[in-house]
């Protein structure tokens, strides 16, 4: 068992800056950290009491691992060295930062340094640093194999043909066991089919009628599953952007926060009871043939979303800043749609806008909001936000930034807010994300395409102005 004290984390140097700090092959940073760990490593007998955060603090220990022979502990003066050494490893081994869970890397690093208990620190040199990197490289290489991850989803109850959005393929439940999703091998394949059958049975019990398959390479299992699930969330956003009025709001992975398939209410007043019932399953208005028609009519959206999600899932982003920003914003939008409390939903929707434009501050958020309104809608700050509205673009931008800040900082009550136009904000954010991803797809094909939000918004504004 591996236990670590939860102390306030160090302010980490950004990844690109860390790269610049450690480009030589002298490994001076790694050697220094290994020596620090050797000084503060110790072996103890197994304690009589359970290891808790309070016990670790009382004993002045940071990280602790229990073994059959006792406890390997890092005393607090060396507590941060393990984290810094993990960052060094991330800098040196290609693909590791994307392809493995941070805690697993740190745990494997702990395995390596166990032998440094009672080691003379001055004896640690370049050979040890090279052995460390070789150990972690081999560990990662053995685990970073191509995988196909299967993710049950709630899309609709109506059968429809298989469809693909970027790296994600969806198959309806009735065809899973006869499709190429299902293990067909003999012999040991019976164990594979047993796991698959259990998954299909779970889907049937939970009324999840779609199974997504995502190809993920260069990742160990847990990280591959995490990336696949996020990729499914993002392509579902494509459906939510393409058909917002066809019960797409609650489309989700089966394992995500989704609530129940129905809602029942009961109340009593003056001795009389009033009950209510409503279905909450996604895609209830998607009938026979509707889903393929959505895919056909909104093909530009699905092409654009699919390509951005493919960039995310493969780790090969065409535009690292802009594509990652769109994916982050789309995830916030997805979470905002499923949120039951309007004030929190508004906060998530407004966060989606801030993440999309990489606002960085309230002042920057307001400025970027003006840029969105100008680039995507052709509005000047003093123009009405909509025909006949008394609200100007300037006021709208300020209100968006103000509302989110007041909710997050407690100026406005989360549970007793008034005057929230949730539907309006959902529509606005949906339009922005839809327009942004389509324009981003065109932007990626330019010969000169700075990976910068200001350049992108300026290009979108000029492009849309000339098309009017």
145-170 confidence digits (pLDDT tens): 999 999 999 999 999 999 999 999 99
- Say if residue 235 is in the same domain as residue 191: yes
- Say if residue 108 is in the same domain as residue 179: no
Q: CA 370 to CA 363: how far, in whole Å? A: 11
Given the structure tokens 């939000």, which residue do they identify? 453
- Say if residue 133 is in the same domain as residue 73: yes
Q: Phi then psi for 445, rounded to 5 degrees?
A: -90, 0
Confidence grade of residue 5 (pLDDT, cut at 50, 70, 90): very low
- Say if residue 211 is in the same domain as residue 117: no
pTM: 0.84
Q: What is the mean pLDDT of residues 140-145?
A: 93
Q: How many domains does the chain have?
A: 3
Beta-carbon-side half-sphere exposure of residue 285 (alpha carbons within 13 Å): 9
List the single range of 9-18, 341-350, 391-400 with lowest mean pLDDT.
9-18
- Say if residue 265 is in the same domain as residue 219: yes
Bridge partners (DSSP) listed for residue 169: 164, 213
| Within a domain: 138 | yes
| Within a domain: 233 | yes
Residue-range definition of the domain harbouring residue 188: 145-288
- Say if residue 321 is in the same domain as residue 468: yes
Per the document, the length of the chain is 468
- Say if residue 172 is in the same domain as residue 111: no
- Say if residue 202 is in the same domain as residue 135: no
Average pLDDT score, the chain: 85
Residue closest to 345 by CA, chosen among 242, 401, 425, 254: 425
- Say if residue 333 is in the same domain as residue 437: yes
Q: CA 376 to CA 17: how far, in whole Å? A: 34
- Say if residue 125 is in the same domain as residue 178: no
- Say if residue 416 is in the same domain as residue 435: yes
Q: Quick check: 224 and 323 in contact, CB under 8 A?
A: no
- Say if residue 60 is in the same domain as residue 173: no
Burial class (CB in 10 A: 0-12, 13-18, 19+), 247: middle
Give the pLDDT confidence score for residue 367 in this predicted structure: 81
Q: CA 285 to CA 293: how far, in whole Å? A: 13
Confidence grade of residue 55 (pLDDT, cut at 50, 70, 90): low
């Amino acid at each position: 068992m591996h236990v670590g004290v939860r102390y306030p984390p160090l302010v980490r140097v950004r990844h690109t800056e860390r790269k610049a700090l450690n480009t030589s092959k002298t490994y001076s940073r790694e050697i220094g950290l290994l020596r620090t760990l050797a000084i503060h490593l110790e072996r103890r007998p197994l304690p009589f009491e359970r290891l808790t955060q309070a016990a670790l603090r009382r004993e002045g220990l940071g990280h602790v691992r229990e073994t059959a022979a006792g406890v390997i502990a890092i005393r607090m003066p060396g507590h941060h060295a393990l984290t810094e050494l993990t960052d060094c490893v991330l800098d040196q081994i290609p693909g590791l930062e994307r392809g493995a869970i941070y805690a697993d890397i740190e745990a494997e690093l702990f395995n390596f340094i166990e032998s440094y208990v009672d080691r003379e620190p001055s004896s640690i040199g370049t050979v040890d640093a090279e052995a460390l990197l070789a150990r972690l490289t081999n560990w990662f290489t053995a685990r970073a194999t191509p995988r196909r991850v299967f993710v049950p989803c709630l899309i609709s109850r109506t059968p429809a043909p298989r469809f693909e959005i970027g790296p994600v393929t969806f198959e309806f439940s009735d065809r899973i066991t006869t499709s190429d999703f299902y293990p067909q091998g003999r012999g040991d394949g019976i164990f594979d089919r047993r796991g698959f059958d259990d998954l299909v049975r779970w889907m049937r019990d939970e009324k999840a009628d779609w199974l997504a398959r995502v190809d993920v390479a260069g990742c160990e299992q847990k990280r591959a599953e995490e990336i696949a699930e996020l990729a499914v969330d993002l392509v579902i956003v494509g459906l939510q952007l393409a058909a917002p009025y066809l019960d797409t709001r609650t489309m989700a992975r089966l394992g995500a926060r989704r609530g129940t398939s129905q809602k029942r209410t009961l109340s009593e007043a003056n001795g009389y009871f009033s009950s209510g019932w409503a279905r909450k399953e996604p895609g209830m208005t998607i009938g026979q043939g509707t889903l393929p028609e959505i895919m056909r009519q909104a093909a530009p959206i699905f092409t654009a979303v699919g390509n951005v999600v493919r960039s995310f899932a493969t780790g090969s982003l065409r535009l690292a800043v802009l594509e990652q920003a769109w994916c982050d914003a789309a995830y916030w939008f997805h979470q905002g749609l499923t949120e039951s409390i309007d004030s929190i939903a508004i906060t998530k929707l407004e966060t989606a806008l801030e993440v999309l434009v990489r606002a960085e501050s309230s002042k920057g958020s307001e400025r970027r909001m003006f840029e969105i309104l100008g680039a995507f809608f052709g509005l000047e700050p003093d123009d009405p936000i909509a025909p006949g509205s008394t609200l100007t673009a300037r006021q709208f931008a300020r209100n968006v930034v103000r509302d989110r800040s007041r909710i997050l900082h407690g100026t406005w009550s989360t549970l007793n807010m008034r005057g929230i136009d949730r539907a309006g904000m959902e529509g606005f954010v949906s339009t922005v994300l839809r327009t942004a991803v389509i324009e981003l797809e065109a932007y990626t094909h330019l010969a000169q395409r700075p990976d910068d939000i200001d350049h992108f918004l300026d290009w979108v504004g000029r492009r849309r102005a000339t098309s009017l």
